Amino acid sequence: MAKTLIYAHRGASKLAPENTMTAFELAAAAGADGIETDVQLTKDHIPVLIHDENLRRTTNGTGFVQDNTYAELRLLDAGSWFNPKFSDSSIVSLDEFLDWFKDQPMFLNAELKTNVIEYKNIESIVYNSLKRAGVIDRTVISSFNADSITRMKNINPSIQTAFLTSTKMRNLAGYAKSLEADALHVKHRLLDKRLAKKCSKNKLDLRIYTVNRPSMMKKCFKLGIEGLITDVPHQALEYRALSQ
């Protein structure tokens, strides 16, 4: 059985402010197999890595990402909310991140945040950035928005995509397959042996988020899940070493 890959959720987000270069660097230093991050678009159509559509929670700014230019967003403090020692952290562009990531021996899970705001052309903008960086072959694009999956597959049928959900559905694996997705990413409470078998039968990779409890980590390892997404990659790596 292949080992379960460990993706750092927004970087090592229990140790540093989420989706900042410090969080990504700590994940790499811990030995995480991959990084999960979130992509939104600025007013001037620059893809940036931030989870919320609104700036309030993770910066000292207000309003929406889409209403600010990248230059304006760069001036914000994206770290003090977590701890004052991270006050020099800023919002990262996808291209800035990829310039670092392309030299890391890791996988990337880029989540397109199109379930609240359907950013126009985000799929092609993100795809072009990934192509320029030469990392398409080790990237999976995920989204809660099925249309984003379809649009990405229309750009390049061979790029890896994942349907993302926290909602229980009768035939989740079948639905993901109908979108021509390559993987299913589900919230940890949806994980059971039946879903794992259904994904295997449909030749879908199954990845689980956000796995922070040791008991859930062990369940993922026991069921042979392809990947888990966690805020604490350093801990998940320790448990994996004991479990597999």
Please determine, for residue 1, whether its predicted confidence score (pLDDT) is greater than 90. Answer: no
What is the biggest distance separating any 2 CA atoms in the chain, rounded to whole angstroms? 49
Residue 188 known to be catalytic: no
Task: Residue 122: give the domain boundaries.
Answer: 5-243
Predicted local distance difference test score (pLDDT) of residue 21: 98
Q: How many domains does the chain have?
A: 1
Return the CATH number at 94: 3.20.20.190
pLDDT at res. 244: 66
Encode pLDDT of 53-92 as tens digits: 999 999 999 999 999 999 999 999 999 999 999 999 999 9
Beta bridge partner(s), residue 109: 36, 140
Q: What size, in residues, is the chain?
A: 244
Residue 235: what pLDDT?
Answer: 98
Catalytic residue among 9, 185, 188, 234: 9
Residue 2 confidence class, pLDDT cut points 50, 70, 90: confident
The answer for residues whose C-beta is within 8 angstroms of residue 81's C-beta and 6 or more apart is: 17, 57, 58, 59, 60
**Predicted confidence (pLDDT) per residue in 180-228, tens digit:** 999 999 999 999 999 999 999 999 999 999 999 999 999 999 999 999 9
Nearest to 143 by CA among 107, 179, 169: 179
Q: Tell me: the pLDDT tens digits for 106-142?
A: 999 999 999 999 999 999 999 999 999 999 999 999 9
Q: Which of 222, 170, 227, 181 is nearest to 204 (CA)?
A: 181
Residue of 45, 51, 188, 234 marked catalytic: 51
Q: Tell me if residue 51 is catalytic.
A: yes
pLDDT, one tens digit per residue, over 34-48 is 999 999 999 999 999
Average pLDDT for 93-106: 98
